[in-house]
Amino acid sequence: MERAPLIDPFARPITYLRVSVTDRCDFRCTYCMAEHMQFLPKKELLTLEELDRLCTAFIDLGVRKLRITGGEPLVRRDIMTFFKGISRHLDSGALSELTLTTNGSQLARFAPDLAALGMRRINVSLDTLVPEKFAAITRWGRLDQVLEGIAAAKRAGLRVKINAVALKGFNEDELFPLIEWCGAEGHDLTFIEVMPMGEMGEEMRLDQYWPLSDVRARMRERFTLTELDESTGGPARYVRLEETGQKIGFITPLTHNFCESCNRVRVTCTGELFMCLGQEDNADLRAPLRAHPDNNEPLREAIRAAISRKPKGHDFDYSRQKVAGQMSRHMSHTGG
């Protein structure tokens, strides 16, 4: 069925959707969640069927890449039913990529099935290779379980990208160990700058902030860095380490303005469509989903209307030692 693709007011085609399928998680990473989180009542969450209809509506409107996130997507009950269903769009060619961002804790169980349904690559978050530090930063996680999960993903043929949040005073000393481990294992590696999400104290946030410009400078002491031109339409920029040939990514939402080429939108686990990670404006997609269980046209109409309001960029700013543009919602709600 031919439909006009989604183009926002700044002529950016919207081809990439990230969907959070749960706000729950089996970890409590200190930069992401409070230890005692109040999670949403189940009825607020989109059901697996609603998630399928929602993703399908976006795919009908030209979305080609779908990333499932959370919370921890692999702790959502029966999530494989959703993945199996939605993989029909890979089979038909409507979707070119179905992928996942995970903390890795459940990968040992699910990696073979994910690979079998057509997933090719996944992102796994891992900030440290030291068991005690891993336990401290995730509060509830166990490093060996995650490493086992990553190994299972590799065995299943999934390409793994490690995402490490750069945290001052926490993993500064692991910059080279992380690079070496990823190199030896054949994983890609991307560093993420910590973002002002959730209601964490301003002081703590500035304490944790390790600008990626510093990370790069540190890397230059040991490696020759070549800037790569490629852009994924997202916030990542890449360099190649000439000595090892590794490609390292940097996600710098705060020190680099990446908005001009933004091709993506996000949907929360309750069906709110956020047109920009750094802006509060959103559209309720759960209402048209639930009001019209047998007709996706009102849903597609709501999506089109929302995309016509996609803003030019975000307002995050750490300058002058103040966290400006701070967002009150947690990353686990919007989906990282």
Chain residues that interact with ligand SAM, rule: CB under 6 A: 25, 31-32, 69-70, 72, 101-103, 125, 163, 165, 192, 194-195, 197, 331-332, 336
| Single-letter residue type at 104 | G
Q: Is 329 in the site for ligand SF4 (CB under 6 A)?
A: no
Q: Which lies closer to ligand SAM via its Cβ, residue 88 or residue 329?
A: 329
Report in angstroms how near the CB of residue 240 gets to ligand SAM at its nearest. Answer: 22
Handedness of CA 252, 256, 262, 268 (dihedral sign): positive
- Judged by DSSP in three states, 138 sits in helix
Q: Which lies closer to ligand SAM via its Cβ, residue 94 or residue 130?
A: 130
Tokens 């966290």 sit at which residue?
A: 323
Q: Which lies closer to ligand SAM via its Cβ, residue 56 or residue 190?
A: 190
Q: Which lies closer to ligand SAM via its Cβ, residue 143 or residue 302?
A: 143
Q: Which lies closer to ligand SF4 via its Cβ, residue 27 or residue 82?
A: 27
Report in angstroms how near the CB of residue 197 gets to ligand SAM at its nearest. Answer: 4
Q: Is 332 in the site for ligand SF4 (CB under 6 A)?
A: yes
163 binds, among ligand SF4, ligand SAM, none (CB under 5 to 8 A by kind): ligand SAM
DSSP 3-state percent helix, strand, coil across the chain (nearest 5): 35, 20, 45
288 binds, among ligand SAM, ligand SF4, none (CB under 5 to 8 A by kind): none
Residue 139's CB is within 10 A of a number of other CB atoms, namely 13
Residue 226 makes CB contacts below 8 A (sequence gap 6+) with 239, 240, 242
d(CA 142, CA 133): 10
- Part of the chain binding ligand SF4 (CB under 6 A), chosen from 27-35, 172-180, 217-225, 242-250: 27-35
Q: What residue is closest to ligand SAM based on CB?
A: 336
Site string for ligand SF4, 68-107 (x = CB under 6 A): --xxx------------------------------x----
d(CA 163, CA 251): 9
Handedness of CA 318, 319, 321, 326 (dihedral sign): negative
Q: Is 137 in the site for ligand SF4 (CB under 6 A)?
A: no
Q: Number of helices (H) and strands (E), helices first, in the chain?
A: 12, 12
Residue 282 makes CB contacts below 8 A (sequence gap 6+) with 268, 272, 273, 274, 275, 306
Please state the separation of Cα 314 from the chain's center in Å: 17
28 binds, among ligand SAM, ligand SF4, none (CB under 5 to 8 A by kind): ligand SF4
Report in angstroms how near the CB of residue 293 gets to ligand SAM at its nearest. Answer: 29
Positions in the binding site for ligand SF4 (CB under 6 A): 25, 27-29, 32-33, 70-72, 103, 125, 332
